[in-house]
C-alpha cells in the first residue's frame, strides 16, 4: 500500500509542477498577479508530495519490503538500519527521486525567502524551476519508477554494495546533489531575467546568495567524495580524474567563476552576459553530469548501472533545456552590454582573468572526458585519457590563476594605483618565496623548482588572504571593521591556499611501499617503523573480517596502531579492503592488507602521506568562507 | 550483449581488493621508481577505469609481470608502450601518445590559454577607453 | 550577435557526439589484429604436452581460435554450442586454454566434451596477452593465410554465430 501511495504522490507532484510552471509564467507575461501568486503555493505543494513519496520509499527500505523491486535490488535483511536509509539513494531510481526532492526543497526555499524580490521575477524563477521538475518527474514516472513491484516478492534482498556501506558514502550524494541541483536556482534566475529582457545589479544581488550556497554544498560534496575514495578504496589516492568525478568538478569550476562574475555584475553592472552564460553553463554541466553517470556511456566504477534508453531520455531533456536557454541567451545578451569601463590595473581585470582561466580549465576537463568518445566517433579507435594528461593540462590554466588570486583580492575596483599596490605585496611575496623554499627543505628534506613554485604559491595565497583580516583586527574596531563579504572571501581563499599546500606536499613527498610482511616483522617506511603484531578474525554486523594489527613507532616512540581489514560481506561475498589509517594533522599513515602469500606472510601496502588532510580541510574552509559571505546583511532579502 | 559482457566481467572483476605485488620488483631504486610510475599509467584492460598498479584483476598482474620482464630486458618506456599498443591499442595507455590523433590534446591547454589571453587583452583594451563611472551604492573592502 | 551564438553552436556540435556514445558499448575493445596476421605463438598442447600448437596450424584453412578457461562462466555457457558447431564439421575450432589449471581443463573437456581440433595450454597468460585478450570467452575468426578477420567477445550461441560469423565466413569463401 505504502509504495502505491508513494507512486501516487509523485503523480500528484507532477500535476502541481505543471501548474507551478505554466500558470506563473503565463501570469508574468500578462501581468496577472493572481496567476503569479500561484507560484509559491504550488511549489510548497509539490515539495510536500515529493517528500511524501520519498518518505514512502524510505519506509519500504526500513521495513524490508522486498515486494518493491528497487528495495530487493539494493537492500538486505541484515543491513544496518542507517544503511537501509542510505540505500534509498544508492542506485539510479532512488537517487533520481532524491534529485527531485532536493529540487523541490530549493524551489520551496526560493518561494519562502524571496519577499524582497519583485513578484514578476519570482514568478518566472519558480515557473522555470517548475519546468525542470516536470521534466525530471516525467523521467522518473515514465522510465525510472522506484516503486515498481516485484512479484512474487523476494525473501531477502541482493544487498547494498559493500562499498556503499559507509557513513561518508551515505551522506556524499545528498550533499553533492544539494550543490548540483542548487545551480538550477541561478539558472532559473538567468532564464527569468532573459525572458523579462532585463538584468540589473539588483538581480545580481538577489541571485548571489542562492548561487553561493549551492556552490558551498558542491564544494563539501566533492571533498567528501574525495575523502571517501581515499580511505575506502584502499589505494591511498584522492582524485582519479574519473569521468564521474570530472562530471562533478566541471559544475564546480564554472560555479566558482559564476560567483565571482556575479560580484562584478552586482558591483558595477558589468559582465552581464558572462554571468548569464555562466549561470546557464553551471546547471547545464550538472545535467550533463547526470547524463554521463546514468547513460552507460562511460566506463567508471562510480557509474550507475543503467541503460541507454534512459540515457536517451536525459539527453533529450538536456538538449531541450540547454538549447532553449542558449537561444534565449543569443537573443537577449547583445542588448545587455554596458558602457562603463575599468582600467588595466583593476579588480575587474583580475576577475575577467579569473573567469577565463576557470572556463579554460573546464573546457580542458570536458575535453579530456569526452575525447575518447570523439576519437571513437571519428573511427580513431579507443583511446584512454587519464591522470597523466589531466594533471598537466589542468595545471596550465591553474598555476597562473593561483598566482593571480593573491593579487586580485587586494586590487581596487575601476582603477588601482600601482604604487601602493606594489608596496602592499612586497613583503608578502618575499615571505611566500622564503616559505616556499624553507618548507619543503626543512620539513621534508628536499627542494625542486616545481616544489618551490607550488609551496610559494600556496604560501602566497595564504598570506594574501590574511592581509585584510589581520589589518582590520589591528585597527580598533576589530572584526566589526570587515564586512562579512570580505571576511568570507579571505576565508575562502585561505582554504584554497591550504588545499594547494596539501596537494603539493603530498604529491611530492608521499611514500608508498608494497612489501611482503611476516607476522612479527618490522618494516621501515619514511623513517617510521611498522611492526606487524598480529592477525585476527573480527565479526561485523553483516560481514566477517581478517584484521591485521600494526604498531607504528618513530625511533622508540609509539605513534599509533593501524588495523587494516579484509572484509567478506555475507550476501554479496565480495572481499573488501578496509585500509587502516592513523591520521594526524600533518600526516596520514595508511596501511592496506593485500593477499596471504605464505604461512603468516601477507602482502602489505604502507603509505606515508604528509599534509594530506589539508586537502579536505582546505576545501571545507573554502565552503565555510562561502557560508560567511552569505550571511552578509545586504543579502537578507527575506528579512523585510 | 551487455549482460553477456557483465558475465564476462564477473569472471574476474576486481571488487575493491587492492593489488599488491609481493615485494619490490627491482632492487635498484631508480628502476623501481620508474616501474611504479609506469604501471600507474597503464590501464587495466578489463577493469572499470583502473590502472594496473591498483587493480587486483589477474590480467593486471600479468601485465605488471610482462612490464617487469621488459624492463629487465632493458626496453625503454616507449618500447613498452609499443608492446601494449600493439596488443590492446591506445586504450591501454592512460597517457595519450604525443603523436598523431592525440597531439591535439597536448597542445590544447596552451592554445586555449593563448587565445584566452588575446580575448582578455581585447576586452580590457576596450574597457579602458570607457568612462570609469561613479561609485556604486555598494561599499566594499577598503582599499 | 555572432559571438553570442557560439555557445549554442558548441552545444549543437556536442549533442551528436553524446548520441553516438549512447550507441556504443564503452567496455568493448576492438581487436588490434583485425586485418593483420595473428600473433605468433607456440604452446604445448593441453592433451599432450610433448606436442605443440602454433601459428602454423592456423594456415591453410579458415578456422576459429577460442579463448577459454574452466573458471569462466561464459565459457561453460557457450560450450554446448561449440560442441554442436564442432559436430557439424563446418570449421575447425582451435583453442587457447587461458590462465587455467591443466588438470581442471582436461577434466572439463572429458566431462563436457572436446570440440577443439587442438587446444594449447597458456598457463601464465603470456600468449593471451600477445593476442590482446581481455576477457574470456573470446573467439577469433582466422582466414587461410593466418590473418585475423574478426574477434567476438562473450559467449557464442547459434543466433550470434549466424549474425556475426556466417556472413564473414561466406565472404572469405569468395
Of A475, A504, A533, which one is at a domain's C-terminal end?
Answer: A504
Q: How far is B7 from chain C (nearest CA, A)?
A: 6
What count of CB pairs under 8 Å joins A to C? 62
Identify the closest residue of chain A to B132 by CA–CA distance.
A341
CB-based burial, A364-379: b 16+ in 10 Å, e otherwise: bbbbbbbbbbbbbbee
The answer as to whether A83 is a domain residue is yes
- Which of A353-357, A464-468, B112-116, C24-28 shows the lowest mean pLDDT across its residues? C24-28
CB < 8 Å to C12, chain A: 323
Question: 3-state secondary structure string, A470-539?
Answer: HHHHHCCCHHHHCCHHHHHHHHHHHHHHHHHHHHHHHHHHCEEEEEEEECCCEEEECCEEEEEEEEEEEE
Same domain flag for A355 and A428: no
Per the domain annotation, does A623 fall within a domain? no
- A322 and A182, same structural domain? yes
In a domain? residue A165: no
Q: Which of A470, A504, A538 lies at the terminal end of a domain, its last residue?
A: A504
Is pLDDT at A413 greater than 50 in this prediction? yes
Tell whether C93 is covered by a domain. Answer: yes
**Average pLDDT of every residue of chain A:** 91
Per-domain residue ranges of chain B? 11-95, 99-130
Fold of the CATH domain B11-95: Helicase, Ruva Protein; domain 3 (1.10.8)
Q: Is the pLDDT of residue A94 over 80?
A: yes
**What is the structure's pLDDT at B17?**
59
Q: A239 falls in which pLDDT band (50, 70, 90)?
A: very high
Name every chain C residue with its beta carbon within 8 A of the beta carbon of B45.
Answer: 29, 134
Model confidence at A479, pLDDT cuts 50, 70, 90, reads: low
Chain C: touching chains (3 or more CB pairs < 8 Å): A, B
Give residue A473's pLDDT band: very low, low, confident or very high (50, 70, 90): confident
Q: How confident is the model at residue B6 (pLDDT cuts 50, 70, 90)?
A: very low
All partners of chain A with 3 or more CB pairs under 8 angstroms:
B, C
Q: Give the confidence band of B5 by pLDDT, cuts at 50, 70, 90.
A: very low
Measured CA to CA in angstroms, residue A473 lies from A478, A480, A498 at distances of 4, 9, 22
Q: Is residue A341 part of a domain?
A: no
pLDDT digits (tens, 9 = 90+) for C72-85: 999 999 999 999 99
Contacts of C163 in chain B (CB under 8 A): none
**Chain A closest CA to B24's CA: distance in Å?**
7
Residue A640 lies in a domain: no
Domain membership of residue C153 as a residue range:
36-173
Alpha-carbon distance C103 to nearest alpha carbon in chain A (angstroms): 23
Q: A379 pLDDT band (50/70/90 cuts)?
A: confident
- Flag whether pLDDT at A226 surpasses 70: yes
- Within chain B, how many helices (H) and strands (E) appear? 5, 0
Closest Cα partner for C27 from A348, A57, B10, A119?
B10
* A301: containing domain: 171-331+349-398
Is there a domain that residue A626 lies in?
no
Best of B7, B8, B82 to substitute, by most chain C Cβ atoms within 10 angstroms, is B8
Segment 374-433 of chain A within 8 Å of chain B by CB:
375, 378, 380-389, 392-393, 396-397, 400, 410-416
Q: Considering only CB atoms, which chain B residues are within 8 Å of C72? A: 8, 11
Q: What CATH number should be reported for the domain holding residue C133?
A: 3.40.30.10
Q: Are residues A7 and A84 in the same domain?
A: yes
Query: Chain B partners of A400 at a C-beta cutoff of 8 Å?
Result: 113
Total domains present in chain A: 4
Q: Look at residue B142 and tell me whether its pLDDT is greater than 60.
A: no
- Domain count along chain C: 1
Residue A300 is predicted with a pLDDT of: 79
CB distance C146 to C172 below 8 Å:
no
Q: Which residue of A has its CA nearest to C4?
A: A330
Flag whether A621 is in a domain: no
Instruction: Output the nine-digit C-alpha cell for B24.
Output: 619490490
Q: Is the pLDDT of residue C126 over 60?
A: yes
Say yes or no for a CB contact (<8 Å) between A576 and B101.
no
Asked if residue C155 belongs to a domain, the reply is yes
Q: What is the mean pLDDT of residues C13-20?
A: 88
Report whether pLDDT(B3) > 60.
no
- Does B36 contact chain C (CB < 8 Å)? no
Give the chain A residue nearest C3 (alpha carbons): A330
Residues A107, A33, single domain; the answer is: yes
Q: What are residue C34's DSSP bridge partners?
A: C148
Look at residue A633 and tell me if it is in a domain: no
Smallest Cβ–Cβ distance between B22 and the set A380, A384, A516 belongs to A516
Amino acid at each position: 500500500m505504502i509504495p502505491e501511495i508513494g507512486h501516487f504522490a509523485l503523480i500528484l507532484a507532477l500535476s502541481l509542477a505543471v501548474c507551478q510552471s505554466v500558470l506563473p509564467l503565463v501570469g508574468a507575461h500578462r501581468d496577472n498577479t493572481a496567476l503569479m501568486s500561484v507560484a509559491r503555493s504550488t511549489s510548497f505543494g509539490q515539495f510536500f508530495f515529493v517528500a511524501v513519496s520519498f518518505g514512502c520509499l524510505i519506509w519500504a527500505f526500513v521495513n524490508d519490503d522486498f515486494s518493491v523491486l528497487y528495495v530487493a535490488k539494493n537492500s538486505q535483511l541484515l543491513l544496518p538500519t542507517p544503511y537501509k536509509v542510505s540505500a534509498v539513494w544508492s542506485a539510479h531510481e532512488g537517487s533520481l527521486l532524491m534529485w527531485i526532492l532536493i529540487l523541490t526543497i530549493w524551489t520551496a526555499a526560493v518561494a519562502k525567502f524571496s519577499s524582497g524580490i519583485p513578484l514578476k521575477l519570482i514568478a518566472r524563477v519558480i515557473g522555470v524551476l517548475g519546468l525542470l521538475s516536470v521534466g525530471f518527474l516525467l523521467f522518473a514516472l515514465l522510465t525510472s519508477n522506484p516503486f515498481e513491484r516485484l512479484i512474487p516478492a523476494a525473501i531477502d534482498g541482493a544487498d547494498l554494495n559493500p562499498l556503499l556501506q559507509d557513513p561518508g558514502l551515505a551522506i556524499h550524494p545528498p550533499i553533492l546533489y544539494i550543490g548540483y541541483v542548487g545551480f538550477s536556482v541561478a539558472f532559473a534566475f538567468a532564464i527569468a531575467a532573459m525572458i523579462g529582457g532585463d538584468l540589473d545589479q539588483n538581480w545580481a544581488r538577489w541571485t548571489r546568495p542562492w548561487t553561493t550556497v549551492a556552490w558551498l554544498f558542491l564544494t563539501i560534496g566533492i571533498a567528501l567524495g574525495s575523502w571517501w575514495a581515499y580511505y575506502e578504496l584502499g589505494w591511498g589516492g584522492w582524485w582519479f580524474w574519473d569521468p564521474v568525478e570530472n562530471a562533478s568538478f566541471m559544475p564546480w569550476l564554472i560555479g566558482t567563476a559564476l560567483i565571482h562574475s556575479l560580484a562584478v555584475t552586482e558591483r558595477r553592472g558589468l559582465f552581464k552576459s558572462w554571468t548569464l552564460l555562466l549561470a546557464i553553463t553551471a546547471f547545464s554541466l550538472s545535467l550533463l553530469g547526470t547524463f554521463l553517470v546514468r547513460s552507460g556511456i562511460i566506463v567508471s566504477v562510480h557509474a550507475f548501472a543503467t541503460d541507454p534508453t534512459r540515457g536517451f531520455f536525459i539527453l533529450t531533456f538536456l538538449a531541450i533545456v540547454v538549447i532553449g536557454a542558449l537561444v534565449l541567451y543569443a537573443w537577449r545578451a547583445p542588448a545587455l552590454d554596458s558602457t562603463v569601463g575599468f582600467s588595466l590595473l583593476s579588480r575587474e581585470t583580475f576577475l575577467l582573468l579569473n573567469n577565463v582561466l576557470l572556463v579554460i580549465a573546464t573546457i580542458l576537463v570536458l575535453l579530456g572526458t569526452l575525447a575518447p568518445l570523439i576519437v571513437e566517433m571519428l573511427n580513431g579507435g579507443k583511446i584512454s585519457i587519464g591522470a597523466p594528461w589531466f594533471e598537466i593540462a589542468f595545471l596550465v590554466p591553474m598555476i597562473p590563476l593561483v598566482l593571480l588570486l593573491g593579487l586580485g583580492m587586494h586590487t581596487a575596483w575601476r582603477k588601482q594605483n600601482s604604487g601602493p599596490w606594489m608596496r602592499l605585496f612586497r613583503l608578502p611575496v618575499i615571505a611566500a618565496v622564503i616559505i616556499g623554499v624553507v618548507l619543503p627543505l626543512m620539513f621534508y628534506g628536499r627542494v625542486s623548482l616545481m616544489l618551490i613554485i607550488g609551496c610559494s604559491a600556496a604560501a602566497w595565497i595564504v598570506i594574501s588572504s590574511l592581509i585584510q583580516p589581520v589589518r582590520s583586527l589591528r585597527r580598533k574596531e576589530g572584526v566589526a571593521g570587515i564586512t562579512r563579504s570580505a571576511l568570507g572571501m579571505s576565508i575562502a581563499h585561505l582554504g584554497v591556499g591550504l588545499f594547494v599546500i596539501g596537494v603539493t606536499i603530498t604529491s611530492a613527498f608521499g611514500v608508498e611501499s608494497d612489501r611482503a610482511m611476516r607476522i612479527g616483522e618490522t618494516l621501515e617506511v619514511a623513517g617510521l617503523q611498522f611492526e606487524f603484531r598480529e592477525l585476527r578474525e573480527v565479526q561485523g554486523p553483516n560481514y566477517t573480517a581478517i584484521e591485521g594489527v600494526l604498531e607504528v613507532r618513530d625511533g622508540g616512540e609509539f605513534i599509533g596502531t593501524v588495523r587494516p581489514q579484509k572484509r567478506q560481506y555475507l550476501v554479496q561475498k565480495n572481499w573488501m579492503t578496509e585500509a587502516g589509517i592513523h591520521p594526524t594533522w600533518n600526516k596520514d599513515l595508511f596501511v592496506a592488507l593485500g593477499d596471504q602469500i605464505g604461512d603468516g606472510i601477507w602482502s602489505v601496502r604502507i603509505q606515508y602521506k604528509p599534509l594530506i588532510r589539508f586537502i579536505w580541510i582546505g576545501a571545507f574552509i573554502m565552503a565555510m568562507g562561502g557560508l560567511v559571505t552569505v550571511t552578509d546583511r545586504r543579502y537578507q532579502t527575506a528579512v523585510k | 550483449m551487455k549482460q553477456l559482457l557483465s558475465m564476462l566481467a564477473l569472471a574476474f572483476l576486481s571488487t575493491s581488493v587492492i593489488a599488491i605485488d609481493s615485494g619490490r620488483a627491482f632492487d635498484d631504486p631508480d628502476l623501481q621508481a620508474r616501474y611504479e610510475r609506469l604501471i600507474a599509467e597503464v590501464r587495466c584492460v578489463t577493469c572499470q577505469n583502473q590502472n594496473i598498479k591498483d587493480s587486483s584483476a589477474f590480467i593486471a598482474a600479468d601485465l605488471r609481470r610482462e612490464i617487469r620482464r621488459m624492463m629487465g630486458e632493458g626496453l625503454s618506456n616507449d618500447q613498452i608502450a609499443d608492446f601494449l599498443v600493439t596488443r590492446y591499442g591506445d586504450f591501454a595507455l592512460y597517457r595519450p601518445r604525443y603523436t598523431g590523433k592525440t597531439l591535439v590534446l597536448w597542445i590544447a591547454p596552451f592554445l586555449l590559454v593563448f587565445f584566452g589571453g588575446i580575448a582578455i587583452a581585447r576586452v580590457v583594451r576596450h574597457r579602458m577607453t570607457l568612462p570609469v563611472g561613479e561609485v556604486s551604492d555598494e561599499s566594499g573592502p577598503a582599499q | 550577435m555572432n559571438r553570442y551564438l557560439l555557445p549554442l553552436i558548441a552545444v549543437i556540435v556536442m549533442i551528436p557526439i553524446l548520441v553516438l556514445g549512447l550507441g556504443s558499448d564503452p567496455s568493448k575493445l576492438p581487436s588490434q589484429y583485425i586485418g593483420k596476421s595473428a600473433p605468433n605463438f607456440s604452446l604445448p598442447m593441453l592433451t599432450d604436452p610433448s606436442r605443440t600448437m602454433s601459428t602454423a596450424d592456423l594456415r591453410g584453412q579458415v578456422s576459429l581460435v577460442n579463448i577459454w578457461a574452466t573458471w569462466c562462466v561464459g565459457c561453460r555457457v557457450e560450450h554446448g554450442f561449440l560442441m554442436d558447431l564442432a559436430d557439424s564439421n563446418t570449421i575447425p575450432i582451435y583453442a587457447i586454454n587461458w590462465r587455467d589449471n591443466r588438470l581442471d581443463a582436461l577434466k572439463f573437456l572429458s566431462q563436457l566434451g572436446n570440440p577443439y581440433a587442438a587446444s594449447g595450454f597458456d598457463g601464465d597468460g603470456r600468449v593471451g596477452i600477445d593476442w590482446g585478450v581481455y576477457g574470456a570467452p573470446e573467439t577469433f575468426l582466422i582466414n587461410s593465410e593466418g590473418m585475423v578477420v574478426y574477434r567476438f567477445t562473450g559467449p557464442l550461441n547459434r543466433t550470434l554465430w549466424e549474425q556475426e560469423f556466417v556472413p564473414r565466413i561466406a565472404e572469405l569463401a569468395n
